[in-house]
Structure 1
Amino acid sequence: MTDDVVTRSVDASSWDALTTVFGTRGDPAGCWCQWFKLSRSDWDGTDRTQKAELLHAQADAGSPGVLAWLGDEPVGWAAVEPFSAYPSLARSPITRRTAEDPSDPWAVTCFVVRLEHRRKGVARALLRGALEHARERGATVIEGYPVDTGARPKLSAAERYHGTVSLFTSGGFEVVRRPSATRALMRRTLQPAG
């Protein structure tokens, strides 16, 4: 199935596809990939419609991620931008920078796969698309902050939105550190595009 899934960077024409992927129920419809973009007080003071409007504006202004397509149907999303585009990452104990870390790597922070398309390789295709998206925009280092299903096997789909260690390992990422028993900071160096 993965070979049938293609990814494309999000742009101003992607809004209808994004609304299909995020839907109207569940965690994605309440977050719209704004958790890492907003301060806690701004998050608490922003309703789901406003969060959707923020992602819409971000898509219009640039390319905050990639969409996965199966034929003409949008089936998933991955958020990928420079670390600095996500202010909350700098405050998290999972993603906080150390002296050895690159100053502004790119970060894959979120995966959304529509329920009826899960377990079909969509997340794997999204990660490949995120790598290419970042490389085309000059990224040389990319990070992910996945959950370790080996340490915590009974995670719900909602708890896997960061991706899993096995997914990132299959994408060529290596564990840099383990900030908690169930989370890893993983990194991959990218070759320049072209």
Structure 2
Amino acid sequence: MARSAKSPASRKTPSSLDGLTFHPVDTSRWKDFERFFETPGAPKYCWCMAWRTHGTEARDFSSADRKAAMRSRVKDGVPVGILGYLDGEPVAWCSIAPRPTYRNNLGGPTVDGEKPERVWSLACFFVPRALRGQGMTPRLITAAVAHARKHGATVVEAYPVDAESPSYRFMGFVPVFTSAGFEEVGRAGSRRHVMRLSLR
């Protein structure tokens, strides 16, 4: 599945996203995920482990450690998220997985009778600069919700911020989730809004 190291996002001019497809990251997609996260500007310092580290993982955790931890999760079959593809190349990322696979302080309410593993958390996005402003995030949300539903989720939860927020911007902005049908149910910390979409 490996191709050239340069993502199409770095060479495309703004255009339609027709042909965009989405696939969950599993062992067959690891090389794509690795290559995408190692392109210039991608969050290879994090490897989308910011909300996943716990215990000893959270102490002195280097980029290489985070990559190894993510790879271990993928190898073990733990859901971690989806990649968006154009022309067969990965061009966007969305972290979507059962809430118990993240740290407890991610946020979200405890609801009587609700099975925690059926609540899936949409925790972050990464879209290269060349493809921003073209409606990629709403498409990622739609694909993430479909992926969660397919795997038994009854709720998708997100933790976006206001547009002027100085931090957590990688978690998305409130209006795009409102437009996707999510409803605010509370706050997580001082900046993050907890928003939910029922799939029942």
Tell me the TM-score normalized by structure 1: 0.82
Once the two structures are overlaid, the 10-residue window that deviates more, 15-24 or 43-52, is 15-24
Structure 1 residues 166 and 124, CA gap change in structure 2 (3 angstroms): same
Residue 120 of structure 1, CA deviation: 2.0
Residue aligning to 2:33: 18
Unmatched segments (≥5 aa) in structure 2: 1-15
Residue aligning to 2:109: 97
Structure 1 residues 28 and 101, CA gap change in structure 2 (3 angstroms): farther
What is the count of residue pairs matched by the alignment? 182
Residue 109 of structure 1, CA deviation: 0.7
Residue 29 of structure 1, CA deviation: 0.8
Q: Residues 114-149 of structure 1, C-alpha deviation per residue, up to 9 Å, x if partnerless? A: 232222222222111111111111001110000111
Alignment RMSD, CA only? 2.4
Once the two structures are overlaid, the 10-residue window that deviates more, 138-147 or 100-109, is 100-109
Residue 9 of structure 1, CA deviation: 1.2
Residue 34 (structure 1) aligned with residue 49 (structure 2): yes
Residue aligning to 1:165: 174
- SS of the residue corresponding to residue 82 of structure 2 reads strand
Residue 138 (structure 1) aligned with residue 152 (structure 2): yes
Residue 97 of structure 1, CA deviation: 3.3
Instruction: Tell me the percent identity.
Output: 32
For 2:190 and 2:168, locate their aligned partners in 1 and report how far apart those are by CA, in whole Å: 15
For 1:106 and 1:179, locate their aligned partners in 2 and report how far apart those are by CA, in whole Å: 16
Tell me the TM-score normalized by structure 2: 0.80
For 2:52 and 2:188, locate their aligned partners in 1 and report how far apart those are by CA, in whole Å: 21
Structure 1 residues 67 and 101, CA gap change in structure 2 (3 angstroms): farther
Residue aligning to 1:178: 187
Match of 1:123 among 122, 137, 140: 137
Residue aligning to 1:84: 100
Question: Is the Cα–Cα contact under 8 Å of residues 48 and 95 in structure 2 kept in the other structure?
Answer: yes
For 1:124 and 1:141, locate their aligned partners in 2 and report how far apart those are by CA, in whole Å: 17
Once the two structures are overlaid, the 10-residue window that deviates more, 73-82 or 121-130, is 121-130
Residue 65 of structure 1, CA deviation: 0.8
Q: Residues 19-51 of structure 1, C-alpha deviation per residue, up to 9 Å, x if partnerless? A: 232126657111111111112752232210121
**What amino acid maps onto 2:84 in structure 1?**
A
Unmatched segments (≥5 aa) in structure 1: none
Which structure 1 residue ranges, 4+ long, deviate > 6 Å from structure 2?
A: none
For 1:121 and 1:4, locate their aligned partners in 2 and report how far apart those are by CA, in whole Å: 14
Question: Is the Cα–Cα contact under 8 Å of residues 5 and 122 in structure 1 kept in the other structure?
Answer: no
For 1:127 and 1:118, locate their aligned partners in 2 and report how far apart those are by CA, in whole Å: 15
